[in-house]
Amino acid sequence: MKLGIVGLPNVGKSTLFNALTNSRVDAGNYLSRSSNANLGMVNVPDERLDFLTKLHKSEKTIPASIEFIDIAGLVQGSSKGEGGGNKFLSHIREVDAVIHVVRCFEDDNVIHVNDASGDSRLDPVSDVDIVNMELIFSDMEIIERRIERVKKVLKGDKSVEKELKLLEELSEVLNDGKSARTINYTPEEELIIDESPLLSRKKIIYVANVGENDIKNISANEYYNKLNEIAKSENAEIIPICAKIEAEINELDEYEKTEFLSDLGIEKSGLDKLIQSSYRLLGLISFLTAGPKETKAWTIKKGSKAPQAAGKIHSDFERGFIRAETVAFNDLLECGNMNIAKERGLVRSEGKEYVVCDGDVILFRFNV
């Protein structure tokens, strides 16, 4: 599962990416540079692991992780090949969801790069438009080609009539400069549309990169408010972050971090929120396993059943699945330990059809 960080030049993408990956990259994982994109695995913060590690005196704690890729190089005209545009688009094509960073901080020392507005004033609406339009242009080409193909098929096969109608409606929306994700499809329509992977249909989180002084009182930042309206109109999430502060926070140890955050009047670093929201956006949840050797969060798709979850640990666990001994993390936390949880009947024995919930602490019984 991969998230791509996109946005115009100089909006703070690299600053954000570095802050994300700096303290959160697993030593065993990689951080590499390929063409014009940086890749990095980022740990998903999860306080539940701390409790389980203490409870079991685990030697190791292994959090879940997701991959971020910093995709540089988008400028106006990218979809037409400007500024190495095709490479940029192919990077976006590979990701499961998009983090769109928008500049909402004022700083005369940092040039505002927006070829359309032609001046240096910040304008999140026009900035967002440029990026979205490049994705929309690329989608338009794909859909136009598909419409031509379907029209040819239609001459001998009337069954594609519905497909053609859907494509023509989509083409109209794209031509209006709107992203494909603004359309609500039925599951059946979705199957038809998703035969063409579209960039403007990818799930998105808007990151408002705000100034150092805005974090405390975010609604006072007019750029943020404008971006918030855009996000609302697309049913997309928006997260305010000051990338510069996040980069500074990362240099601190845990104690200093807490002090620094409380001085700023906030509880959690924006990055933690961003990582957790990204995880949710991708439709992912974690189940947990814990013992003296290790406490670990395992990533599964929401809706996965117990044997599939077991298969994440080892294919033998899935093949020979018998039962899953399961307790909800919050129940365990309230009881304090497994024995009390068992006494109170909170440890359940679940079978093959059980749909695993986020935070389930599981011990699998299997036979191979």
Q: Residues interacting with ligand GDP, by CB under 6 A?
A: 7, 9-15, 105, 107, 110, 209, 211, 242-244
User: Quick one: 7 or 307, whose CB is closer to ligand GDP?
Assistant: 7
User: Quick one: 106 or 144, whose CB is closer to ligand GDP?
Assistant: 106
User: Which residues contact residue 262 at a Cβ distance below 8 angstroms, ignoring those fewer than 6 apart?
Assistant: none
CB of 107 to ligand GDP, least distance (A): 4
CA distance 41 to 38: 10
Cβ proximity of 305 and 352 under 8 Å: yes
Q: Is 260 left (phi over 0), alpha (psi -120 to 50) or beta?
A: alpha
CB of 31 to ligand GDP, least distance (A): 16
User: Quick one: 7 or 40, whose CB is closer to ligand GDP?
Assistant: 7
Nearest to 289 by CA among 342, 348, 358, 361: 361
What amino acid occupies position 270? G
User: Quick one: 75 or 193, whose CB is closer to ligand GDP?
Assistant: 75
CB of 286 to ligand GDP, least distance (A): 30
CB of 24 to ligand GDP, least distance (A): 17
Question: How open is the CA angle 356-361-364, to the nearest 5 degrees?
Answer: 75
User: How far out from the chain centre does Cα 82 lie?
Assistant: 27
CB of 283 to ligand GDP, least distance (A): 27
Exposed/middle/buried for 323, CB within 10 Å: 0-12, 13-18, 19+?
middle
CB of 207 to ligand GDP, least distance (A): 11
User: Quick one: 105 or 224, whose CB is closer to ligand GDP?
Assistant: 105
Q: Side-chain half-sphere of 224: how many Cα atoms within 13 Å?
A: 20
CB of 224 to ligand GDP, least distance (A): 12
User: Quick one: 10 or 171, whose CB is closer to ligand GDP?
Assistant: 10
User: Quick one: 11 or 135, whose CB is closer to ligand GDP?
Assistant: 11
Alpha-helical (H) ranges within the chain are: 13-22, 48-56, 85-94, 124-154, 161-175, 187-193, 222-233, 243-249, 254-264, 270-281, 306-313, 315-319, 329-335, 338-343
